[in-house]
Every structure is written in structure tokens, then in C-alpha cells.
Homo-oligomer: A and B are copies of this chain.
Amino acid sequence: MSGFQVLVVAGTHGNEVNAPWLLDQWQQNSHLINANGLNVCCVEGNPAALQAGTRYLDRDLNRSFSAELLKAPKEKAYEIARARELLAVYGPDGSNPSQIVIDLHSTTAGMGTSLVVYGRRPPDLAFAALVQARLGLPVYLHEGDSSQQGFLVESWPCGLVVEIGPVAQSLLHWKIIEQTRLVLEGCFDAISKVKSGLANYPKHLVVHRHLGSIDFPRNENGTIEFCLHPYRQGADWEPIQKGDYMFIGLDGSLIKFDGDDGSIPLFINEAAYAEKEIAMSLTKREVWLLSDHWENALSKLIV
């Protein structure tokens, strides 16, 4: 048996309960998910937050994997300790190492089933292209945002985030569980095809490239003064034009979009992002030609 292992993380946020439930059921009954013969290791990202039913205890675990935080000896947050522990055990150089990680999330935004890639690492792009070709999923490429750093998957040589919504926090929901199962099987199938040399790469990868984020209009005390306009609620992945309604006040006053025509908003009204001062992120849809370099980089990891 090769040392190749896929790590699947669920419950990185403790109030996203569907993926942890799915993996728990899978551990009781191996027939529930087809792993295509891969060596898969499942772990709860933030078990203490899952137990408490909250997103996190001290800080967002999925913003706790920056090299700076991991190395800082004085960092006492539970999530920093947990990040170090996950890396010590399951990291690429850990005691039970994995080379690829799939981090399963849910969102209150109407994202459907989607993939998130952080930066432009060649194996990530190759992996996302294979899953996109198989399942038709949209890909959000997150990059160049200094206010958002330290994502879990960046600490492994290759990693995708799966985001599925809309679903309320802490709510077990059949549809979300089934979507999670399908995307996991799609990921396993893609990896096993690479392993057996049968990967059928598409010619293109369609990405929604992160441009920046928009906050709710707030007053001088930081209180939100305008809600999301109902036209935008659940309208993730739909392009917007200058002048489209964005926010609305209780007196009916409107705030319109003032950016580039064709911008595509994502993570619209994700409940957990209000504290990050994000009402939505804006992206640009781009079609990228696949590169041999990406494919080779992914193949090298999967042995």
C-alpha cells in the first residue's frame, strides 16, 4: 500500500453539522460512501466547537493556519492549538500524513454545491478542474485578500474546500447531506482516476476570481443600517450590473451597485461573515486553459 492518503475534514466550523454527521455515519457503515479504494482518513476539525454548537470557541479555526500564528508561542487560543495538532497528526509531515485535504463546509448563502480554491497552486487547480468536469460545480478562486488569511487547506500540498448552501447553522438537513455525499464521491473518483492514470482532464477550468468584499452599510457605531436587498438574497453566482439594488433601509431607501458590470457576488448574506464585515464577495468569471504543469503537480502527489 502506498503512503498516499486523503484527509477529509468536517466540522472545521462547529455549527456546520451536516458533514460531521455524514462522516460519522460513514464510519459506522463503509457502504454509505464510495471511496474508490482510496485510503481516506476522516477527522472533525473543531470537536470542541461542535460539542458547544458554535462556529468556534476563541477564533475561527479556518483563519488559524497562517505560519505566523502557528509559530507564535504566546498564542493560547484553542483553535491555534487545534490547528497545530491537526498538522502534527494529519499534516504532510505528520504522524499519520495526508497529501490531499478536502474540507467540508456549509453556508447560509445560496451557494449550491461549490468548490473553493485558495490561490493558484497547480495541484489545487488540476483537482478542481477534474471535479468541475465531473460534477459541473462552480469554483470560487480566493486570492489576494490580506484581511482573510490562514485557511486550513493551505497547510497541505493540495486541498479543496467544499461549500454547500443555503442551510441554517446547526441544522441537520437531508439535501445538504446528500449534496455533501455526492461531491465527496466525485472528489474520490477524480483522485482515483489520477492514481490509475485514467484522469480525463477538461480543456478549461472556469473560475470565479475573488475581487474583494462589500460590507453592509453601517453607522458610526458599526451597527448595520441597511439590510441586503431581497433581489440579492439567494442570488449567488448571478452577475450584477451598475445600478442593481444591493441594500435597503426600513424606510425603503435603496443603495445601488456602483462597481463593474458583470461582477458576480458570492457568499451573499452568510450569517457568520457579518462579524467579518462581509455582506458578500465580488468575483469575475474567467475561463482558464488547463496546463500540463497543473496535471503533473497533482500526479506527483498521488502515488
Q: Which residues of B contact A182 (CB under 8 A)?
A: none
Measured CB to CB, the nearest residue on chain B to A231 is B174
Across the interface, A250 reaches (CB within 8 A) one of B22, B108, B227, B233, namely B22
Q: Is A274 an interface residue (CB 8 A)?
A: yes
A252, chain B: closest CB distance, angstroms: 10
Contact at B224–A21, with CB atoms within 8 Å?
yes
Contact at B177–A251, with CB atoms within 8 Å?
no
Given the known A-B contacts A25-B250, A32-B250, A32-B251, are A224 and B108 also in contact in the complex, defined by CB atoms under 8 Å? no
Q: Which residues of B contact A269 (CB under 8 A)?
A: 171-173
Measured CB to CB, the nearest residue on chain B to A228 is B174
Chain A contacts with B in 1-45, Cβ cutoff 8 A: 21-22, 24-26, 29, 31-32
Contact at B168–A271, with CB atoms within 8 Å?
yes
Quick one: which of A166, A171, A269 has the most chain B CB within 10 A?
A: A171
Q: Which residues of B contact A275 (CB under 8 A)?
A: 53
Q: Is A284 an interface residue (CB 8 A)?
A: no
A227 to B175, CA, bound (A): 10
The number of residues on chain A lying at the interface, defined by a beta carbon within 8 Å of a beta carbon of chain B, is 40
A22, chain B: closest CB distance, angstroms: 7
Q: Which residues of B contact A108 (CB under 8 A)?
A: 168, 171
Q: Is A299 an interface residue (CB 8 A)?
A: no
A222-241 vs B, Cβ < 8 Å mask (1 yes, 0 no) = 01100111100100000000
Q: Is A137 an interface residue (CB 8 A)?
A: no
Measured CB to CB, the nearest residue on chain B to A269 is B171
Quick one: which of A21, A166, A170 has the most chain B CB within 10 A?
A: A170
Pick 15 A–B contacts, CB within 8 A, sort by A. Answer: A25-B250, A29-B251, A32-B250, A53-B275, A54-B54, A108-B171, A167-B168, A168-B169, A168-B171, A169-B170, A170-B272, A172-B227, A174-B227, A174-B233, A175-B230
15 more A-B residue pairs beyond the given contacts A25-B250, A172-B269, with a C-beta to C-beta distance below 8 A: A22-B250, A24-B223, A25-B249, A32-B250, A54-B54, A166-B168, A168-B169, A169-B170, A169-B271, A172-B224, A172-B274, A173-B233, A174-B229, A174-B230, A174-B248
